Structure 1
Amino acid sequence: MTHSDVTEFTGQCLCGEIRFRGTHDGENGLKACHCGQCRRWSGHVWAAILPRSLDITGQPKWYRASDIARRGFCATCGSSLFWQRDGSDIIDVAAGAIDAPTGLHLQGHIFVADKGDYYEIADGLPQDQQD
């Protein structure tokens, strides 16, 4: 995939009540976040894409996670689906909720200074202490 390619994607929560469709490009920014909030939110590591466009079907619930962002989830099954910085029109989408084949490739890791003590990051991708 070249950086100018636009790829459509679809996905959903575990129960299917929340569905989404969008597009992303080669600059999708797929990074794994290892911060404490993301680990608690997802149960391990949060990885999300930055879509060019996104349409959501269903009504996600939103949780004010911090003073800079909110997190969207399904109120029925509890799936973690979205992250949105205050003041931004972009809603990041959980890579794990995207239907396969995704065509995505992890590009790096962020907030590794806060990663869990129960695993190592050994894939050779860039690691930012924070982002």
Structure 2
Amino acid sequence: MSISGGCRCGAVRYELAIEAIPPAYACHCLQCQTWSGSAFSEQLLLREDQVSVVGPVVRYDLTTEDRTSQQRMCGTCHTRLYNTNTRRPGIAVIRAGTLDESHRIEVAAHIWVKRKQPWLALPEGARTWPEAAPLDDLAAALRPA
């Protein structure tokens, strides 16, 4: 079994070699708000070898002081599908909203909540971090129950 997704126009499709949608995290940083055009973005963390993509994918490299993020998007409609980065080799960050069954996403953690929109209420008891979560802590929060 695999989980499928793709871009808005349908030119790019992907398959995730996993049995079920893992818990996701929401990022409330200003960069994710700008990229998504919304209050936050939802991501899934997977091994890069679990992602198989077909279609016209283009890559945009965004370099900051401590890493280069390689953004993958549809070359036709420019839907951002996933990224990798030099700080976490072998890890793919899937844009959860591009899943065919995105309504099944369960957000288990929230990062950069100090930038959260003030009108947005997070679920009581949600795992949160004011900025980026330490990777081990975030991984623990995202382990399936």
Query: What are the Cα deviations for residues 7-26 of structure 1, in whole angstroms up to 9, with x where unaligned?
Result: 62100100111110013467
Shift of 1:123: 1.6
Distance 2:46 2:12 in 1: 17
Q: Please tell me whether the aligned partners of residues 111 and 128 of structure 1 are also in contact (alpha carbons under 8 angstroms).
A: yes
Amino acid of the structure 1 residue aligned with 2:52: D
Match of 1:43 among 37, 40, 48: 37
Q: Select the residue among 15, 19, 24 that pairs with 1:21.
A: 15
TM-score (norm 2): 0.73
The count of residues paired between Structure 1 and Structure 2 equals 124
SS of 2:114's equivalent in the other structure is helix
Task: Give TM-score, length-normalised by structure 1.
Answer: 0.80
Tell me, yes or no, if the aligned pair for 1:17 and 1:74 is still in contact at 8 Å.
Answer: yes
User: Larger helix proportion, structure 1 or 2?
Assistant: 2
Q: Please state how far the C-alpha of 1:27 moved relative to its aligned partner.
A: 9.0
The farther-off stretch of 97-106 and 24-33 is 24-33
Q: 1:27 to 1:130 in 2, by over 3 A?
A: farther
Matched, 1:62 2:59: yes
Measured in 1, the distance between the counterparts of 2:46 and 2:19 equals: 8
Structure 1 unaligned regions, length at least 5? 1-6
- Do the aligned partners of residues 106 and 84 (structure 1) sit closer, same or farther apart at CA in structure 2, a change above 3 Å counting? same
Q: How does 1:1-131 map to 2 (within 5 A)?
A: 8-24=2-18, 28-44=22-38, 45-52=40-47, 53-67=50-64, 68=67, 69-86=69-86, 88-100=89-101, 103-117=104-118, 119-124=119-124, 125-131=126-132
Q: Which runs of 5+ in 2 are unaligned?
A: 133-145
Instruction: State the 1:58 CA deviation.
Output: 1.5
SS at structure 1 position matched to 2:127: coil
- How well do the aligned residues superpose, as a CA RMSD in angstroms? 2.3
